[in-house]
Structure 1
Amino acid sequence: MWFGTMTGLNRYDGYTFKTFRHDVRHATSLRDNYITGLFTGPEEKLWVITRSGLTIYNPLTESFYPNTTRWLQRYALPDSAITQVVKDKTGNFWFMHATQGLFKYTSRTKSTQKLTNTLHSASVSDLVQDKNNDFWLIYRDGMLEKRSSKTWQVMFSSRNLGQQQAVTGPDFRLFADDAGDLWIYQEEQPLGIFISIPPLNYFNITAANRKTLN
Structure 2
Amino acid sequence: KYCTWNCLYPSYTLLQALGVSDDALNKFFSCPYFTPLEVTPGVKRVLLPFKTTADLPEDVRVEWRRSDLEDVKVLVYENSQKKHEEQHQDYQGRTEMNEELLRTGDLSLTLKDLRPTDSGVYTCTVYKNDGAILKQKVVILTIRGHNANTLLYLYMYLSILIFCFVLMFLYFAHLLLVKLAHKNFTLMCCSSVPVMGCDNKSDLI
Q: TM-score range by the shorter chain?
A: under 0.3
TM-score (norm 2): 0.23
TM-score (norm 1): 0.23
**Structure of greater relative contact order (alpha carbons < 8 Å, 6+ residues apart):** 2
Greater Rg over alpha carbons, structure:
2
Higher strand proportion (structure 1 or 2): 1
